[in-house]
Each structure stands twice: as structure tokens, then as C-alpha cells.
């Protein structure tokens, strides 16, 4: 269904911002885990997004309050809260994009893989419901370990006969957000102008920022590049340690998740040249899933882009991340098929 708002003040504003050409389609977005540390600010940011017409906030507890609160914001979308599994169907039906930040976060001393035992089951059951109630939705997976939860989702969808590799995304945008911020600080350039691709996966050394391709060019010494790479790879841990037991990145993740969901919506709406890094099914390397730049379109992934030229250190980083990433992918596939 399309709502003709092109001639209204809101429509003209959207056109100016390059969001749409003729009309703004109705788009339903669901946030699963909406009452959590990421879920709440992400729900607010999605409420601020003019491309969303219906916003479904789902969690196993506390969603009515979050939904009532967010619903008072005077923007386009209608907000509804859903709580508990028997309301999941209603939350999902008709969704164009489903964002999943459901699951437990890290505490100091833990790796993302330490979250596998709890989050794998959560993701598996949510994806089974997605396959049933909104099989055509684009799925934005935030729950960790992303390197395993994305393969789990793919297996669940394959078993249900609904898998479309163009519609499943691991959200790695926070790695890009961090790489941009840290690079701008070191290179003393305007952060708003910075672009840095981040490839690989979303844990430790599997996060591979390609500072050799960063723009604007700054010709930083190799030791600065090494330090920036390490800080980007350890960005999540930096926040986990600073929060000292009270969870992991929530606000910056909500920001990153909102950027990625907005890119998905723009792609669906036919906005050209929407490119973001994401962990997707891939033939860029020999691994079945890999994060790289992805062009988004009306069906989700339009093109998985290659890595481009790598520096010697990036090439070495690429080779050394492969065994860990491969093991995490295989762990996810095994879990989905055994349980």
C-alpha cells in the first residue's frame, strides 16, 4: 500500500532528503527485544525515522510501557507493543524489516562466544516465528555472537523453506561507526566526511577495518594504523569494561542499528546507491558468510561487493581471522541442525 504524501509538506521534506521519488510506501518494522538496553533507544530512533509507518515493539517483558512512551513522539509511525510469545505473530505479520537485539549482553571477562548458549536458542525461536509470520522481511541480526547467530538464522529459514540470502544481515555497522570515529580523531579530519570499510565478522580479530581504504586519505604511520585497528577490534570490550558489569554498548549500538535499518528501508524504497557493510552470505572469500560492503536494493542485498586492494597487514589480518570465523559459522550451523 502506498500513501501519497509527495505533495504534502512532509512529502516534500522527504524528497529533499532523497528518501523517495513519488510517494512514501507504508513500511512496518519490528524490534524484537525492544525493552532492552539496545531495544529502547533503537525503538525511539526508529520512531524518528520517517520511512516507518508501523512500529511493532516486541519483548518477553516490559514492552507495554516502552511502547506507550515511544508512541507519544509526534512522528509518522503508529506504535504497538507486544509482550510474550503468544503476541509474536501479531508483532511480525506484515513486517518489511525485523531488527533483533534480543538476548543477553557480555560482562567483563566474557567473549561474545560465551553468549552462544543462551542467545542461540533465543535467535532460533525468533527466526522460526519470522519464517512463519513474515518470511519476506529483511532480518537485521544484532544479537551476539553475530558470527554464529546469522548462520543459525539461515539454517532455520532453510529448514522452513523460506531462506533468501538477500534478506539476512548481520549488523556490523557499529564496527564501521567506531572505525570512523577513531580514524577521524587520529587523522584530525571531519568525522562526518570519513568512510572506512570494515570486513570479516563481528568479534575480536574477525573485525577487520580497512584503513588503507579510509577517506579522506591521511597517510597515517603504520603504528597508528595498527593501534586504530586494535581499538576498533576491541571497541565492544572497551565499553563492556567501562560499564563494569552493567552490560555492553547500547546507545552507540542503537545508533548503528538505526543507520542500518534506515539503509535497508531506503533500499526497499528504491533509493539508488545505498551501500553499508554487513555480515551476509558471501562468495568474497571461501567462507560462506562474510562482512563486506553490500549494495542494498528493493529485494535486500543487490550486490555483495569485493574487498578491494588490501595492505600487507590487512591481507595478513584477513588470513588470520578465517579459522576463527569459520569455526563460529560452523558452530551456528551445527547448533541449528542438532537442536
Q: Which of ligand OAA, ligand NAI, none interacts with 317 (beta carbon under 5 to 8 A by kind)?
A: none
Q: How far is CA 233 from CA 8, 205, 210, 225, 277, in A?
A: 45, 6, 12, 12, 15
CB atoms within 10 A of CB 222: 10
Q: Is 72 a catalytic residue?
A: no
Q: Which is nearer to ligand OAA, 15 or 104 (CB)?
A: 104
Q: Is 291 in the site for ligand OAA (CB under 6 A)?
A: no
Q: Is 1 annotated as a binding residue?
A: no
Helices 173-187 and 251-268: crossing angle in degrees, nearest 10, is 110
Report d(CA 65, CA 83) in Å as an integer: 10
Beta carbon of residue 251, minimum distance to ligand OAA (angstroms, whole number): 11
Query: For ligand OAA, which residue of 239, 264, 304, 329 counts as binding (CB under 6 A)?
Result: 239
Contact of 149 with 119, CB cutoff 8 Å: yes
Q: Is 179 in the site for ligand OAA (CB under 6 A)?
A: no
Q: Which is nearer to ligand OAA, 52 or 139 (CB)?
A: 139
Q: Which of ligand NAI, ligand OAA, none interacts with 240 (beta carbon under 5 to 8 A by kind)?
A: ligand OAA
Q: Which is nearer to ligand NAI, 233 or 269 (CB)?
A: 233
Q: Which of ligand OAA, ligand NAI, none interacts with 36 (beta carbon under 5 to 8 A by kind)?
A: ligand NAI
Beta carbon of residue 98, minimum distance to ligand NAI (angstroms, whole number): 11
Report d(CA 77, CA 318) in Å as an integer: 42
Beta carbon of residue 239, minimum distance to ligand OAA (angstroms, whole number): 6
Residues 6+ apart with CB under 8 A from 298: 267, 268, 269, 270
Q: Which is nearer to ligand OAA, 35 or 88 (CB)?
A: 35
**Given CA atoms 247, 252, 255, 259 in this order, what sign does their dihedral have?**
negative
Indicate the annotated binding residues for substrate.
Answer: 106, 112, 144, 178
Amino acid at each position: 500500500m502506498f500513501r501519497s504524501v509527495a505533495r504534502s509538506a512532509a512529502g516534500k521534506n522527504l524528497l529533499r532528503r532523497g528518501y523517495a521519488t513519488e510517494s512514501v510506501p507504508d513500511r512496518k518494522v519490528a524490534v524484537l527485544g525492544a525493552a532492552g538496553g539496545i531495544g529502547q533507544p533503537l525503538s525511539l530512533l526508529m520512531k524518528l525515522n520517517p520511512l516507518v509507518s508501523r512500529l511493532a515493539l516486541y519483548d518477553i517483558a516490559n514492552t507495554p510501557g516502552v511502547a506507550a512512551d515511544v508512541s507519544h513522539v509526534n512522528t509518522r509511525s503508529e506504535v504497538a507493543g507486544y509482550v510474550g510469545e503468544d503476541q509474536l505473530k501479531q508483532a511480525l505479520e506484515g513486517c518489511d524489516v525485523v531488527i533483533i537485539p534480543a538476548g543477553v549482553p557480555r560482562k567483563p571477562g566474557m567473549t561474545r562466544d560465551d553468549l552462544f548458549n543462551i542467545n542461540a536458542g533465543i535467535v532460533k525461536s525468533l527466526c522460526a516465528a519470522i519464517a512463519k509470520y513474515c518470511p519476506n522481511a529483511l532480518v537485521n541480526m544484532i544479537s551476539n555472537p553475530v558470527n554464529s547467530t546469522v548462520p543459525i538464522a539461515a539454517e532455520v529459514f532453510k529448514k522452513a523453506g523460506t531462506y533468501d540470502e538477500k534478506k539476512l544481515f548481520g549488523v556490523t555497522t557499529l564496527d564501521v561507526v567506531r572505525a570512523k570515529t577513531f580514524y577521524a580523531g587520529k587523522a584530525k579530519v571531519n568525522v562526518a566526511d570519513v568512510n572506512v570499510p570494515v570486513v570479516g565478522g563481528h568479534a575480536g580479530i574477525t573485525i577487520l577495518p580497512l584503513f588503507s581504504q579510509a577517506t579522506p586519505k591521511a597517510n597515517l604511520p603504520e603504528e597508528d594504523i595498527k593501534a586504530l585497528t586494535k581499538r576498533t577490534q576491541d571497541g565492544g570490550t572497551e565499553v563492556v569494561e567501562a560499564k563494569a558489569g552493567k552490560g555492553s554498548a547500547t546507545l552507540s549500538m542503537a545508533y548503528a542499528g538505526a543507520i542500518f535499518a534506515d539503509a535497508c528501508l531506503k533500499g526497499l524504497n528504491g533509493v539508488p546507491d545505498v551501500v553499508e557493510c554487513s555480515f551476509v552470505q558471501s562468495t568474497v572469500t571461501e567462507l560462506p558468510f562474510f562482512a563486506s560492503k553490500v549494495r542494498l536494493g528493493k529485494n535486500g542485498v543487490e550486490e555483495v561487493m569485493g574487498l578491494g586492494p588490501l595492505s600487507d597487514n590487512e591481507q595478513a589480518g584477513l588470513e588470520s581471522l578465517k579459522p576463527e570465523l569459520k569455526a563460529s559459522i560452523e558452530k551456528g550451523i551445527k547448533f541449528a541442525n542438532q537442536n
